[in-house]
Amino acid sequence: MDSIIVRGNGPLHGQIPIAGAKNACLALMPATLLSEEPLTLTNAPRLSDIRTMTELLASLGAEVTGLQDGKVLATSCHGEITPVADYDIVRKMRASNLVLGPLLARLGHAVVSLPGGCAIGARPMDIHIDALSALGAEIELKDGYLHAQALGGLRGALHEMRFASVGATENFLMAAVLAKGTSVLKNAAREPEIVDLARCLRAMGAEIEGEGSSTITIQGVDRLHGATHPVVTDRIELGTYMLAPAICGGEVECLGGKIELVESFCEKLDAAGVSVEETATGLKVKRKNGRIRAVDVVTEPFPGFPTDLQAQMMALLATAEGTSVLEEKIFENRFMHAPELMRMGARIEVQGGQATVHGVEKLKGARVMATDLRASVSLILAGLAAEGETVVSRVYHLDRGYERVEEKLGAVGAKIERVKGE
């Protein structure tokens, strides 16, 4: 397996282009199942998760082209559809469950394996099942597969989720656009990826109102047509690269960045002593003065602080002046990066869903192991400011969510290289 070697070498300067959002693209791609006409996605990221979703859609009968070129994905689902999402593909990635809603809407039945992905918590499917059941689906778990059917088609309904799940909101949206009548989803997720999916579905002919709020209304239509849609900027990649100059010093402009995508994150950066300035082309980030200050962080659904930036924020706070407390309220097993940061000299105490970080003046390079996608990049960020050499192993996690990380950081002055595994 590949490794990333990082050598701390001071401030960073320059520009980093931010890719289209992985999590948005993974929800947009299954929308092709809803129409016989082509769906073209621009600004698509080149990631292993996108390749996995391509493989899954192809197994269902869709055609996906343009992946090797990057930026543009052309999808089409005009032929016969196979309603079975097999374990061998679905196990690789949690977002594979997003084919369930579209298959039910298009065919009236589906068999979808329980999904896999990063080992950061249970993330159960019952919220998805409850949402789709409200639309008239009958869903049964047998031998690790969800067997779903909607005899006579899906029908509009009012449903309130007990938790604002992003994936369940996306599945409900894609199922409800072809359901008979009006559907109302309460306590809906408000993430930018939800807004992006709603805009794409509307471009395909869906009737949707309220995306970005906690109540979304969908008026079912008989059919959807093709469309071309630009994938929204990846707010997690944006936040990650904003932390690079905060940790190392210097000044970096993140091209394509917008404050509205990371507002709560920016508030914490400001409190920690990091300046974020909106420019005509993105966000310019630099330290204000001196050492980073400790801040407390609680992860919450959007518009709160993103759980997907918690690990990276911990890397920043590891060298802050004072003591920070990070509380993880989204996933119960998301501090696996803490012991690896401690190998680099960080002082961290973890108790349940809370991590207490006592800032140290300097981290030291070490051999560390990535345990999940966001943990992997947090260790790279820590290595940028550490004394000596940091070797991050098991970076196959990294390739699921970050496009050409060595090139992007190298272009602003980081000493970073990838070493191919034997």
One digit per residue, the tens of pLDDT, for the chain of length 422 reads 899 999 998 999 999 999 999 999 999 999 999 999 999 999 999 898 899 999 999 999 999 988 656 678 888 888 899 999 999 999 888 889 999 999 999 999 999 998 754 443 445 689 999 999 999 999 998 888 999 999 889 999 999 999 999 999 999 999 999 999 999 999 999 999 999 999 999 999 999 999 999 999 999 999 999 999 999 999 999 999 999 999 999 999 999 999 999 999 999 999 999 999 999 999 999 999 889 999 999 999 999 999 999 999 999 999 999 999 999 998 777 899 999 999 999 999 999 999 999 999 999 999 999 988 888 999 999 999 999 999 999 998 898 889 899 999 999 999 999 998 76
Same domain, yes or no: 120 and 53: yes
Q: Could you say which of 182, 202, 230 is where a domain stops?
A: 230
Indicate whether 210 and 284 sit together in one domain: no
The answer to whether the beta carbons of residues 210 and 216 sit under 8 Å apart is yes
Nearest Cα to 322, choosing from 360, 364, 355? Answer: 360
Domain count along the chain: 2
Phi-psi region of 251 (alpha: psi -120 to 50; beta: other; left: phi over 0): beta
Residue 198 Cα distances to 11, 192, 194, angstroms: 40, 10, 6
Tell how strand 145-149 and strand 109-113 pair up. antiparallel
Verify that 378 and 323 share a domain, yes or no. yes
Residues 218 and 82 in one domain: yes
Total Cβ atoms within 10 A of residue 263: 14
Q: Is 289 annotated as a binding residue?
A: no
Claim to verify: residue 154 and residue 202 sit in the same structural domain: yes
CB 71, CB 44: distance < 8 Å: yes
How far apart are the C-alpha atoms of 1 and 355, rounded to whole Å?
Answer: 30
**94 is known to lie in a ligand binding site:** yes
Q: Is 69 annotated as a binding residue?
A: no
Quick one: 221 and 277 in the same domain?
Answer: no
Q: Are 213 and 190 in contact (CB under 8 A)?
A: yes
Tokens of 238: 């944006």
Same domain? For 298 and 374 the reply is yes
Do 73 and 207 sit in the same domain of this protein? yes
Whether residues 223 and 358 fall in one domain:
no
Give the domain range for residue 88. Answer: 22-230
* Catalytic residue (one of 25, 77, 118, 248): 118
Boundary of a domain, candidates 210, 230, 250: 230
User: Which three-class secondary structure state does DSSP give residue 207?
Assistant: strand
Confirm whether residue 308 is marked as ligand binding.
Answer: yes
Task: Say whether both 137 and 266 belong to one domain.
Answer: no
Q: What CATH number is given to the structural domain containing 201? A: 3.65.10.10
Is 254 in the active site? no
Same domain as 245, residue 103: no
**238 neighbors 6 (Cβ within 8 angstroms):** no
Of 166, 197, 230, the domain-final residue: 230
Of 75, 72, 151, the closest CA to residue 108 belongs to 151
Residues 260 and 408 in one domain: yes
**247: its two tokens:** 């940790």
